[in-house]
Structures are given as C-alpha cells and as structure tokens.
C-alpha cells in the first residue's frame, strides 16, 4: 500500500474510528463529520507543507557521500520538523478562527490524523532508505 491518496484517506478514516471509540468510552458526543473535516484538513496541510519544505526521504541537497547523520538531520529533523510544526500552527490558527467552539476537537483531529498519515507512510515502506544515506 504505497498510494499516498489511499494512505491519506485511510488515515482520516482511522482517526474517525478512533474518535467514535473515544465517544463510546467517554459518553461525550463527537461529530464524526467535524472530525473527518479537520482530519482531512490536517492531512492535506501536512502533505502540502512537506512538499513546500522539501521533505522527501529519497532526495537531498547534501552531497551523495556526506555522513549518514547529516542526511538524517537534513531530511527527518529539519525538513520534516518544519512541515510538522507549520502544520500544527496552521491547524491551530484555522481552528481558532473557523471553529473556536470546538477548538480542541479540531486541533486534535487535524494533527493526529496527519501523524497517523505519517506513520502509515513510514511503516508501509513509503519512506525507504536510499543507497547514499540511511533515513
């Protein structure tokens, strides 16, 4: 399962199921439509910002024979970190201005669905190591 679209849809669906499970366990009503909307926004923002900041574990601006630690820091810590923090900021701002009455639900749905997408990509082989540096 390496299709990014399928992984994005699946991560949103997984998070809606998790939210409904939380609703059952806590007896607190949660709108599945609201969770789906914010999950979709979070995943889409994460994907867009990852592209904008140049996160791609298969390409780097570093020299091919640079130490593996430099490749790791460049890809995973700097580029992915920028995308993740920017996504969090975007979701927080959007939730504050669009759906402030459900701020916590919006932020949790957006960020955790995006992180679910990242985990699906990581463990399904979407971010495999390259020949010139370990990820």
Parse the chain into domains and list their residue ranges.
Answer: 4-123
pLDDT at residue number 2: 62
pLDDT digits over 105-115, tens only? 999 999 999 98
Among 52-56, 88-92, 123-127, the range with the most confident prediction by mean pLDDT is: 88-92
Residue 100 per-residue DSSP state? G
pLDDT digits over 28-85, tens only? 999 999 999 999 999 999 888 888 877 665 555 655 676 767 666 666 666 777 788 8
Residue 109 contacts residue 39 (beta carbons within 8 Å): yes
Q: Which of 10, 78, 94 is nearest to 45 (CA)?
A: 94
Q: Which of 58, 16, 61 is nearest to 35 (CA)?
A: 16
- Between the alpha carbon of residue 131 and those of residues 8, 62, 71, 75, the distances in Å are 27, 14, 11, 15
Question: Cα separation of 126 and 117, whole Å?
Answer: 11
pLDDT at residue number 76: 63
């Amino acid at each position: 399962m390496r299709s990014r679209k399928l992984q994005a849809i699946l991560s949103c669906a997984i998070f809606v199921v998790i939210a409904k499970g939380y609703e059952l366990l806590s007896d607190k009503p949660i709108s599945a439509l609201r969770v789906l909307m914010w999950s979709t926004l979070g995943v889409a923002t994460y994907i867009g910002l990852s592209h904008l900041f140049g996160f791609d574990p298969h390409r780097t601006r570093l020299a091919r024979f640079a130490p593996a630690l430099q490749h790791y820091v460049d890809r995973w810590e700097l580029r992915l970190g920028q995308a993740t923090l920017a996504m969090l900021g975007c979701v927080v701002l959007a939730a504050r201005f669009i759906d402030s009455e459900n701020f916590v639900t919006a932020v949790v749905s957006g960020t955790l669905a995006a992180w679910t997408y990242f985990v699906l990509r990581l463990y399904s082989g979407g971010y495999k190591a390259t020949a010139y540096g370990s990820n």
